[in-house]
Amino acid sequence: MTRATTSQQLAEPSLLSLAGLPYFLIAFIARLPFAMMVVGVLTVVVSARGSLSLGGLTSAAVGLGTACFGPLLGAAADRFGQRTVLLALALANGAMLLLFTFVVYGTAPDGFVLLAAVGIGATAPQVAPLSRSRLVTIISDRMPEGRRAKTVSGTMAYESAADETVFVFGPFLVGILASAIAPWAPLVGAAVLTVVFVGAFALHPSGRHVSQDRDADGKAPSTVSELFRPQLLIVVVGILGVGIFFGTMLTSLTSFMADRGASEQAGLLYGVMGVGSAILALGVAWLPAAFSMRARWLVFSGILLAGTLLLGFVDTPGTMMVALAIMGIGIGPTLVTQYSFGAARSPRGRSATVMTMLGSGVVVGQSIGAAFAGEIAESVGTPAALLLPMVAAFIAFAAGVANWMLSGEKRRAAPVKP
C-alpha cells in the first residue's frame, strides 16, 4: 500500500465524524418513548380499568395508529423535510400521551380510551426509521462510492442493535417507573422524553441535510407506484413476520412462565434472546461480501425458524432459554438484512417513506401478535400460543425464499441504491 493511498484513506471521513457523536446519543434516547408506549399503555389500562382484555386491545390500537399513519408521516418527511414533521410530532405525541393518561383515569367509556390510544400511535415520532433514512442519505451523498455498501450494512447493523437494546430497556424502564411512582408515570415520562429528545433529534444539524436524490424544487422524482414493487413489498412482508414473532414470542413466553408461577421472570428470559440478537446484529457488518444479503436472509431466518420449532418440546425454563438463545442468533441478523434491503431498494427520494413502512411493519406485527397470542393463551392454553412464533418465523423465512427468487444475481452486491 502506497503512502498516498494510506493518506487518502485517513482523509476519508467516517459516518461517525460526518454525523457527530451527539447525533447517535440523541437518536438513541429519542427512541425510548416509542419503546415505552405499548407496554406503558398496557400497564396503565390494566391498573386503572382492571381489564387485561382492554389492555391488550388498547396496545393493539397503538399499533393500528402507527400502521395507518406511520408511512404517511414518512412520506411527509420526504416531502417537507424531517425537521418540520418531527417538531410537530414531538408536541402532538407528548400531548396525546398526557391526554390518554387523563382519559384512562377518568369516567370516559372504553371506546374513548381506544380512540386516544390510536392517537398515540398516529402521532408517534418515527425516530428509528427516520434515523436510518437520514444516515443512508448522508452515506450516499457524502461518502466515496466504494465505501457505501459496507457502510450502509454497518449502519443497519448498529441501528438494529440500538432498536433491540431500546426495546429491551424500554419495558424495563416502564416497570421501574410504574413500581417506584405510579402506573401513570411511564406515560408522563415518555411524554417528557418525546418533547425533549425528539425535539433535539429534529433540531440536530443533520435534520436539514437534503439528499441529492431530490429534484431542485425538493420534490421526490419517483412516483408512489415505485413503493409497490414486488422486490420492496416482499421486504415489508418479511419484516412484518419478524414483528409478529416479537409479539407472539413475548406473550407466549409470559404465559409459559405464568404457568410455572414466575411470570415476572419472563422479561429476564426474553433478555437472553434480546442480548444475543443485538450482539449478532452488530456482527453482520463483519460478514464477508461473498455471503450475499439474500443468502443471509435465508440462513438467519432459517436459524430463527429452527429455534421456534424447539418450542414444541420445551418443558422447563432451562430448555426455553436454550431455544431463545438459538432464536437470538437468527432474529438480529435477519432484521438487519431486511433493513439493508429496504435501504438498497428505496425509490429515489422515498427513503424516509420506506423506512417508516418497515418500522411500522415491526410495530404492527408486534401489536397484532401480542393481542392474538394473548387471546389464544387465555382461551386455549400456552401450548397453542407457543405455536404462533413458529408461524411468524415461517412467514419471515418464506419471504426470504421469495426474495431469493426476486433478487437475482445482479443484486448480490446490494448497492445503496437499486
pLDDT tens digits for 27-50?
Answer: 999 988 887 887 788 778 877 887
Taking only Cα atoms into account, the Rg of the chain, rounded to an integer number of angstroms, comes to 21
Which DSSP state fits 107? S
What is d(CA 373, CA 364) in angstroms, rounded to the nearest whole number?
14
Residue 131 has pLDDT above 70, yes or no: yes
Residue 338 lies in a domain: yes
Q: What is the mean pLDDT of the chain?
A: 81
The pLDDT score that the predictor gives to residue 46 is 75
Q: What's the number of domains the chain is made of?
A: 1
pLDDT at 393: 96
Torsion of CA 240, 245, 251, 252, to 10 degrees: 140
Percent of the chain, pLDDT > 90? 27
Scored b (16 or more CB within 10 A) or e, 82-104 reads bbebbbbbbebbbebbbebbebb
Backbone torsions φ then ψ of 8, nearest 5 degrees: -65, -45
C-alpha distances out from residue 283 to 154, 199, 415, Å: 9, 31, 19
How many of the other CB atoms lie within 10 Å of CB of 317? Answer: 17
Q: Does residue 15 form part of some domain?
A: no
Q: What is the DSSP letter of 13?
A: P
Taking only the tens place, the pLDDT of each residue in 188-215 is 999 999 999 999 998 888 766 544 445 4
Backbone phi and psi for residue 156, each to the nearest 5 degrees, phi listed first:
-65, -35
Place of cell 460526518: 18
- Is 114 contained in some domain? yes
Overall average pLDDT of the 320-337 stretch: 90
CB atoms near residue 206 (< 10 Å): 19
Task: Report if residue 302 sits inside a domain.
Answer: yes
- Considering the domain boundaries, does residue 200 fall inside one? yes
pLDDT in tens, 389-416: 999 999 999 999 999 998 864 444 444 4
Alpha helices in 81-198 (DSSP H): 82-105, 110-122, 127-142, 145-180, 185-193
| Other beta carbons within 10 Å of 372 | 18
Cα separation of 298 and 399, whole Å?
Answer: 9
CATH number of the domain residue 292 falls in: 1.20.1250.20
Distances (CA, A) of 26 to 46, 170, 197, 203: 32, 16, 6, 11
Q: Report which DSSP code applies to 264.
A: G
Q: Which of 56, 404, 65 has the alpha carbon at shortest distance from 254? A: 56
Q: Which ranges of 123-144 would DSSP assign to H, the alpha helix?
A: 127-142
Residue 315 neighbours by CB under 8 Å, 6+ apart: none
Q: Does some domain include residue 9?
A: no
Rounded Cα–Cα distance for residues 393 and 311 (Å): 12
53 in any annotated domain: yes
pLDDT at 283 over 50: yes
- How far apart CA 132 and CA 337 sit, in angstroms, is 13
Tell me which residue range forms the domain holding 125.
Answer: 21-208+222-411
Of the candidates 155, 162, 187, the one whose C-alpha atom is nearest the C-alpha of residue 174 is 187
Report yes or no on 7 lying in a domain.
no
